[in-house]
Structure 1
Amino acid sequence: MRLLFFIVLVCNQVLFGQTMENHLWKNRVLLIFTEDKNSADYQQQISLLEKENNELKDRKLVVYSFTKTDFLFNFESTWRNSSELFTKFNPKKANFKIWLIGLDGGIKLAQTTNLSTEKLFAIIDGMPMRKREMSTKNN
């Protein structure tokens, strides 16, 4: 199922300014879906993440935000048009949803509430590949 999600995501790469395939084995990906980019949940989540930009980079984590009509890569200021992705990857029409995708393309977390950076980093730091990265960095 996890790999199937990634394959579907890669098949839709034309809709992205950057291809998701480029992230496989290079980056972990956080997908944030919101009906309204001005919603309190979304603004709070982005604020939490922006404060930890160096930690995100250290963990090779990139962030995609989606609304019903647009998407944003990382914390760029310009939203890009995409009318299909929100519905395609949010079939239950949750007002707010977060997915964490690992280096292998597997879904590591899916939730409909804000994600604390502590929980996010604990999940990532518990991943075998991340443990290897940390041990290599410390040697």
Structure 2
Amino acid sequence: MRKFISCYILIFFSVSLHAQDLSKHQWKDRLILIIASKNNQKFQQQYKELQKEPEGLKERKLVIYQILPEKYKTGFKEKNWKKSTELFEAYNGKKSDFRVLLIGLDGGKKLDQTKMLSAKKLFNIIDSMPMRQAEIQKNEQ
């Protein structure tokens, strides 16, 4: 029984570590995770698509994570890659070559797809969410 409990604690702690980098955003930021098994054309196209809309991203409290198997970075700065396999392993569970995830303010997955995501579709999805609707109403007052 002790081995089982120890194993459970170890697994729980490991999962917490995977989420550690992203948990700091909960209730503050929405996240877009661009995940690819290698730095490929879809990965670059998705990055460029979102990079064209800095005001829309900021308005919707979106933080971009670019995640490759051995490293990740946030935002659009070119030289801030961090070495880690944890985010890739945690969020590419279906083992696809390319994946885009939208994570809401509450930390829940709101979108998970393996094709390009247009900024327009992304903004429409977010703008239809109840929390975003409340933000829009608050800003109009």
* Corresponding position of 2:108: 106
Q: Does 1:12 align with 2:14?
A: no
Query: What secondary structure is seen at the aligned counterpart in 1 of 2:50?
Result: helix
* Corresponding position of 1:68: 69
Greater helix proportion = 2
Aligned residues: 128
* Corresponding position of 1:4: none
TM-score normalised by structure 1 residue count: 0.85
The Cα offsets for residues 29-55 of structure 1, whole Å up to 9 and x where unpaired, read as: 111111222x11011101110010111
RMSD across aligned positions (CA): 1.8
Q: 1:104/1:13 Cα in 2 relative to 1: closer, same or farther (>3 Å)? A: closer
Aligned partner of 2:18: which letter?
Answer: N
* Corresponding position of 1:47: 48
* Corresponding position of 1:132: 134
Aligned partner of 1:124: which letter?
Answer: I
Q: 1:22/1:48 Cα in 2 relative to 1: closer, same or farther (>3 Å)? A: same
Unmatched segments (≥5 aa) in structure 2: 1-12
Task: List structure 1 segments (4+ residues) > 2 angstroms apart after TM superposition.
Answer: 7-14
The separation in 1 between residues aligned to 2:86 and 2:133, in whole angstroms, is: 36
Identity score, percent:
41
Unmatched segments (≥5 aa) in structure 1: 1-6
Query: What secondary structure is seen at the aligned counterpart in 1 of 2:24?
Result: helix
Contact 2:18/2:86, CA 8 A, preserved across alignment: no
Query: What secondary structure is seen at the aligned counterpart in 2 of 1:130?
Result: helix
The Cα offsets for residues 72-126 of structure 1, whole Å up to 9 and x where unpaired, read as: 1111212110123212321221000011000011110000001011110000000
Q: Bigger radius of gyration, 1 or 2?
A: 2
* Corresponding position of 1:3: none
